[in-house]
Amino acid sequence: MVNFKKLKQFMEIPETAEMLLSRPEKETTLSINLKVGPNKLLNYSGYVVYHNSVLGPAKGGVRFAVNVTLAETRTLAELMTHKCALMGLPFGGGKSAIAFDPKSISEFERRTLIKEYAHMLRDELAAGAYIPAPDLGSTPSDMAIIYGETHRPESVTGKPPRLGGLPGRREATGRGVSTVTASACRQILGKEVKDVTIAIQGCGNVGSHTASFLFEKGAKITALSDVSGGLYSPDGLPVTQILDFIRQGKLISEYPADNLQKIENEALLKLPVEILIPAAVEDVLTKDNANKVATKLIVEAANGPITAEADEIFNRKGIPVIPDILANSGGVVASYVEWRNAKSGNQTSAEEVYQFIDSKVEPAFVEVLRLTKERKADFRNAAYILSVSELVAAMKERSWI
């Protein structure tokens, strides 16, 4: 959640704007019932949050996770509002979620569940008021099922490329993370990425593509993990082989690594690397471990991996944190291209998508860096100065305030 008290140390915010940005516009709770057999009824809770739609329709992924809550969905929708504003996209912030364990149900049940979710949201999906995409636990095939229900290619992004999805969308968030990391490395640490060591926590969509792009740029990735644990080598990991291995559906802990050290996720966060990239889940850096973090720069590839207390500790210790709304915005930038192509019929190559992402995230990073110096703000508040300024201007133009 934006800490407006802190942000107001760096900028003026009209009281009315603060009020509108401090709470979601609309929240819906779903009770999704599925009769999947003569005596089998499944029931799952779902949540849909529109945080703020002043810039456009609510855009944000649909999360599938057993413990997901309305509060978590609300926080993620708020991040999307600021991410879209920071990137200059005509989208508001939204998010949805279904509380279930994707491993606990059959493929048929999963398809039925997603169809029912799309059916319950049919009016807002058809109107283009909320545009889902993949997030933690959901996949392009799930987006294809939503498309199958709406019959409107612009109603959902992150679809498989042959169904109107975008070449490069899968890699897009990792692309943006790697571009921002390279710029931050050069402009904050004064080094090229090929000259630094990097630890990445999480090896799903975001972590794996971030690792792959940074490895291509010559970075030494010394640690990489997934939920099962990680691998560490001070000389650098064989990233391509490890990624090929996990893309077969295997866990990192199963990787045959005679010459590599196994490492717990918690220990990975404390490695003495130049750059630490949490790319898995929320709240992994907390007041309990922040003081033991030995990196020079943190890039938030995941949404919200640092608690507010840990953020304070990093500020005090002078460890710069590139915030999620800047670092992982490549995904929504690519989603914008997919949505635009769905409306216009244009097609775009992966290379064009990567260039478009770079053309959005690089100048945003430079502007955020400039504001850290001009306003003596940390990177998170500098990014919020830009997003909030944009949102306030739009609210004035729409006579909301």
Binding segment for ligand NAD among 101-109, 220-228, 369-377, 393-401 (CB under 6 A)?
A: 220-228
**Least gap, CB of 358 to ligand NAD (angstroms):** 16
Is residue 132 close enough to count as binding ligand NAD by CB under 6 A?
no
Residues 47-86 as x/- pattern, contact with ligand NAD by CB under 6 A: ----------------------------------------
Is residue 227 close enough to count as binding ligand NAD by CB under 6 A?
yes
**Least gap, CB of 151 to ligand NAD (angstroms):** 24
- Closer CB to ligand NAD, 173 or 381, in the complex: 173
Active-site residue flag, 95:
yes
Residues 273-312 as x/- pattern, contact with ligand NAD by CB under 6 A: ------xxx--------------------xx---------
CA distances from 88 to 219, 329, 357, 400 (A): 30, 11, 12, 19
Is residue 221 close enough to count as binding ligand NAD by CB under 6 A?
no
- Closer CB to ligand NAD, 24 or 230, in the complex: 230
Q: Which of 52, 222, 265, 348 binds ligand NAD (CB under 6 A)?
A: 265
Is residue 157 close enough to count as binding ligand NAD by CB under 6 A?
no
- Residue with nearest beta carbon to ligand NAD: 204
Is residue 102 close enough to count as binding ligand NAD by CB under 6 A?
no
Residues 184-203 as x/- pattern, contact with ligand NAD by CB under 6 A: -----------------xxx
Binding segment for ligand NAD among 115-123, 131-139, 190-198, 369-377 (CB under 6 A)?
A: 131-139
Q: Which of 59, 83, 95, 360 is the catalytic position?
A: 95
The count of chain residues that interact with ligand NAD, using the rule CB under 6 A, is 23
Is residue 137 close enough to count as binding ligand NAD by CB under 6 A?
yes
Q: Which residues are catalytic?
A: 95
Residues in contact with ligand NAD by CB under 6 A are 134-137, 173, 201-207, 225-227, 265, 279-281, 302-303, 328, 331
